[in-house]
Every structure is written in C-alpha cells, then in structure tokens.
Amino acid sequence: MSEPLDGIASVLERTGEYRVLRRLGAFAGCGEAPDEPTFIGLILDTETTGIDHARDEVIELGIIKFEYGASGRVYRVLEIFNQLHQPRGPIPPEITRLTGITDADVAGHRIDDAAVQALAADAAVVIAHNASFDRQMCETRWPIFAEKNWACSCHQVPWRQEGHEGLKLGYLLVDYGYFHNGHRAIDDCHALLALLAAPLRLSGRLALACLLETARKPTVRIWATGSPIETKDVLKARSYRWSGRRRCWYIDVAEDQFDIECGFLSREIFRGEIRDLPADRITARDRFSLRTNPEA
C-alpha cells in the first residue's frame, strides 16, 4: 500500500468506526540469524476434485519450505512450490466455482513427483490447515508424506481460547487485519505461514510454538467396544464419535487423561470394572494418516 493510502487507512482506524483490511504481502522472515537449533518445515495445501482420497485427485499442490527454530520462530522461506495437475476426468463445476481452476488451466500439466519427494525429504514436520484431509490426499499419491510428522493448524492451535470465533483461514486473517486470495493452494500457504509466524492475540505466544507443542504430544484413542446402545447419547455428549467400520464409539484423549477417561467409562457406561479396553497410542507420525482413519 502506498504511503498516502496507508495514511488514509490509519485515519479511518483511529476513528474506531472502521476496520481496514490490508492485502497480505510476501513473508519477509524475521531478518535475524538463528541463535537456536533450527529445523525444516513444510506448509502444504491442496486443491482437489473432491473429498474422497480413494477416488478424487489433487489438481493443485502448494508447498512453502521454511526454516524455524526450536522456539517456534520462523526465520526464512527456503523454497516455494506450486504446480497444477490434469486429472483423469473433467473438474467438477462446483470445484471450479470454489477455486477458479478450470480444465483449461490444468490441461497438459502434471505435478512433478520427484520434485515433491526431494522437497519433503528433510522436513521435520508438515503443516496443513486441515491435516486430516490434506495428509490423506497426499500420502495416497506421494508415499513420503506417510513417513512424516504432521500438524494441523486448524485444530491444534488454541484459536478460540485466543479470542477468534472462526477457524477458517480467511476468518483468522481478517482478525489480524489482512485478506488474501483464498482457495488457491499457494495463496493459502502464504496466509498460513503469516499466521503461524505471528504472536497469538491474548497470550502473545507464537502460533507455531503452540502448534508444535500440541503436535508433539501423543494421544490415545479409546474404543468403547461393546458399550450398551442406551448410552450413546451420554457418549456423544462427551465428544465420542462413531466408527462405522468398527461399529463402536471412540474418543482421542491426551495420554495423561487416559485413566480419567477409563474411570468415566467404568462408572457411566459399563457400570463395572473394565478389562483389556482397546486403545491405540497415536503420535504426529500417524495422526491424520490413512493408518489411523477410523473409517479407512
């Protein structure tokens, strides 16, 4: 934004009657040399022909490779990758309406699989704003993503506790005073990098630091196998979810909440001692993967 326009925006904001949104610019990094151990991260986003990982295809892949410190500080962007891909059939009209990607845009294009493999090889973590979707779409085509630690910036950052009402990328950007061209893969990657590099609104902690802290903690998936059908509303009220494949209710809890949850099941659901309760330990290496998808 030019200086005169910046001045106008500042005047409007000072009145308290207006909020001005600025177009998100390119991430400039922190401008300082690292004084701590550093790692390589990927921010990844996909545009696809649909939501079925077994049937639908990635038509655009965006990746930003960046260097970050143990503190969660983002130091610099290392590489930007954005490629289109022509799917086997026509792009559904609803996808074109959402993304703006047409059959003509992708005609003759193919994502370079070897380049993706090389880009991801040294990454310590892959971050997506809906990791349960993006991971499953990616590891179907690029097996290297099945071997990586993943983190979800939508659900593993305490946005609501930090004063945000919406979790969508565009809503979060607006709360920080910015807008971007949404629903294109690399634009969403740039937006997410800016959010993760910034301090959270209330605590002041770096968003990336909070995300990594949560992602590193193992969780336990508890299966309420054999729970009486009349207890389903009690389980739903406690945030248990139904697995159609395994035909039972389950919940993911932090490791230190395992005994508490077992106590709840014993008292409220099974009304007696529980033996050999099925449970799976899940880490960032498996979280959001097809391997841990309860419906896969």
The 10s digit of each residue's pLDDT in 210-265 is 999 999 999 999 999 999 999 999 999 999 999 999 999 999 999 999 999 999 99
Q: Is residue 244 in a domain?
A: yes
Q: Do 195 and 223 lie in a common domain?
A: no
Q: How far is residue 107's CA from residue 159's CA, in Å, rounded to a whole number? A: 39
Mean pLDDT in the chain? 95
Q: Do 130 and 224 lie in a common domain?
A: no
The most confident of 19-23, 152-156, 272-276, by mean pLDDT? 152-156
Give yes or no for residue 12 having a pLDDT over 80.
yes
pLDDT recorded at residue 1: 52
Q: How far is residue 146's CA from residue 289's CA, in Å, rounded to a whole number? A: 7
Q: Is residue 171 in a domain?
A: yes
Q: Do 91 and 207 lie in a common domain?
A: yes
Per-residue pLDDT, averaged over 49-78, amounts to: 96
Per-residue pLDDT, averaged over 47-65, amounts to: 96
Q: Do 205 and 227 lie in a common domain?
A: no
The angle formed by the CA atoms of residues 206, 207 and 208, to the nearest 5 degrees, is 90
**Of the candidates 161, 188, 216, which is a domain's last residue?**
216
Higher local confidence (pLDDT), 31 or 169: 169
- Please give the tally of structural domains in the chain: 2
Q: Do 243 and 279 lie in a common domain?
A: yes
Strand 38-48 to 125-128 pairing: parallel
Q: Do 211 and 225 lie in a common domain?
A: no
pLDDT recorded at residue 2: 65
Q: Is residue 174 in a domain?
A: yes
Q: Do 206 and 223 lie in a common domain?
A: no
CB 180, CB 217: distance < 8 Å:
no
Q: Do 28 and 175 lie in a common domain?
A: yes
Q: Do 171 and 74 lie in a common domain?
A: yes
Q: What percent of the chain has pLDDT over 70?
A: 99
pLDDT recorded at residue 269: 97
Q: Could you tell me the pLDDT band of residue 182, with boundaries at 50, 70 and 90?
A: confident
Q: Do 77 and 184 lie in a common domain?
A: yes
pLDDT recorded at residue 13: 87
Q: Do 178 and 233 lie in a common domain?
A: no
Q: Which segment of 70-74, 76-80, 272-276 scores lowest on mean pLDDT?
A: 272-276
pLDDT recorded at residue 183: 76
The DSSP secondary-structure symbol of 226 reads T
**Of the candidates 174, 199, 216, which is a domain's last residue?**
216
* Domain that residue 245 falls in: 219-292
Q: Is residue 80 in a domain?
A: yes
In which region does residue 156 sit, left (phi positive, over 0), alpha (psi from -120 to 50) or beta (all else)?
alpha
Q: Do 198 and 261 lie in a common domain?
A: no
**Of the candidates 190, 216, 242, which is a domain's last residue?**
216
Per-residue pLDDT, averaged over 288-292, amounts to: 95
pLDDT recorded at residue 121: 97
Strand 248-254 to 241-243 pairing: antiparallel
Q: What percent of the chain has pLDDT over 90?
A: 87
Per-residue pLDDT, averaged over 103-109, amounts to: 98
Q: How many helices (H) and strands (E) does the chain have?
A: 10, 11
In which region does residue 121 sit, left (phi positive, over 0), alpha (psi from -120 to 50) or beta (all else)?
alpha
Per-residue pLDDT, averaged over 99-119, amounts to: 97
